[in-house]
Structure 1
Amino acid sequence: MRSAAAFLALLLCLYWTRAQGESGGVTENDITQTEVQSEILDVKATSDQTNITPDIWAELEELRDMVIQHSVELRKMEKLEQENTAIQARLTASEIKNAVLEARLNTAENVVEELKRENTVLEARMSSNELQVEELKRENAEQPKVAFSVGLTDAGYVGPFNTEITLKFSKIFTNIGQAYSPTTGVFTAPVRGTYYFRFTGFETRSSNWMGIYLYHNDKRITISDDINDSHGYVSVSNGFVLQLEKGDVIYLVLPSGYLVYDSANNRTTFSGFLLFAM
């Protein structure tokens, strides 16, 4: 009975100690080997008085060791739970970062794909433009270069004559393509196309008619004339855009009884060039 009473008293003390820890007085972490040993010494003193058997003492020591071990394991478990909570928080943060990175990566990939598509379109346009440039180069290379600009003479007066004459402009400033002949005074179209022609005439003597006819093949296109009825100078000029077939001719004619004047100042001139082939 006494042994049972002592053991019951020890259990009540341990229960009271744990209750104090749960209520804030003493925690499980405060249970130390010294406190347990103190309680056992008290029980041992009681056992000396009540003749507790050695088996009960051994059981108390074993119980002490179990309590100490339980406390240590409990602290380890709490530490592991804290570490696990921290790891879970880190994992959650990492998952969020990974989700953000994946979203950014997907966006970047979409941008790259869009840039690739745009680059493909630009390359196609560039190739098309290069082909067009090459085509224009070929057309430009194939298109004949035709342009001339000539002056009549440095000798002064030409005319008047009893019949019409073709004016032969002997001073060559430009004759690209050699389509104008200074020997005949005739321009011959080397290709079918649209051409521009311009001419000027000048005269200095009074009471004289000055004039020039422009001919396309046998057809007279225009008459440009004036009379010098004073002591001043007179001049005429005109220009036309004409569509010519290959081999068509253009030339200027001095009418019968008319005259023109030219000198080193190049007052009477004839010019033309190909606008575009057709």
Structure 2
Amino acid sequence: MKALVCILLLLETFVFVVQQQVDGGLNENEISQQISSEDGRQNPPQTDTLRAEASTDSQQYCDLGIPDIHAALRELTATVTEQKENIRELTAADTEQKENIRELTATVTEQKENIRELTAADTEQKENIRALETQLRDEMNKKNDEISNLTQSQVEELRKENRDRELAFSAGLMQSGSGFVGPFTTEITLTYKNVLTNIGNAYNPVTGIFTAPLKGAYMFRISIYSNGETAATASIFKNGEHMVIAHENQSRAQDRLNASNGVVLILEVGDVVYVRLWSGRRIYDDVQYNHSTFSGFLLFPLREDDRDLQNVQSFHRMN
């Protein structure tokens, strides 16, 4: 029983010492006082005989364990000190981790803000791209419409130009029946009234005059027919100037005669070409056979700056 009391006393003292070491530590005197105090609490006042016996027994048992208790306390104190140092290190590490977490949280917040800004900028860029695509599409449609209109206008212009270039005519002398024209005492302009072809309406059957509607190179040709002893002579004129002649003469009344001639002329817009019958001459025509005719057509148009006209005109003047 005494041994058990001593063991319990030692255990309580050990627990108290450990607690005090955690809180701040005890020295050996304090431990001894604690043991004495505990011994007093465990052993209330008794008779002198019992106290003496208990003191003797307790001293014997406790003396046996005190050296081991002091060693254990020192070792426990060192362990507690080491643990406290570990706790301080862990606390510092935890504080550092918390600081890192705060920094990382701030960085994440900043990145989120940057992402929101980039998202807003990307949305704005996409909106700008859509606006530019719409503008470009509208401009392309407008250009296509302009090109389409221009193309149609050019086609119409080319058609008109081609229509202007479609120039050709051919006419016979007699509009009805048959007979002679001439002779006359003066030279006259022949009116070929039987119009066979008049593409472009540049030939006038009332006046017998062809008027050039555009600048170009033209081909003209006349053919004359007659019989008897009277000669047949006619000439092509341009703007009052003699160009070429078709002439035939015979010595016998029963003989028939015919002649023809042609010429290529460079005409300006408004130039006129016609046929004149010489004085004292006559030609014959029959509406059924068209013996005597006047024909012409456009070979090709010329540009306004073309020098061929000047060269041809100079050549005519020299000859």
Please report the TM-score for the alignment, with normalisation by the length of structure 1: 0.49
Please report the TM-score for the alignment, with normalisation by the length of structure 2: 0.43
Give the structure with higher Rg (CA).
2
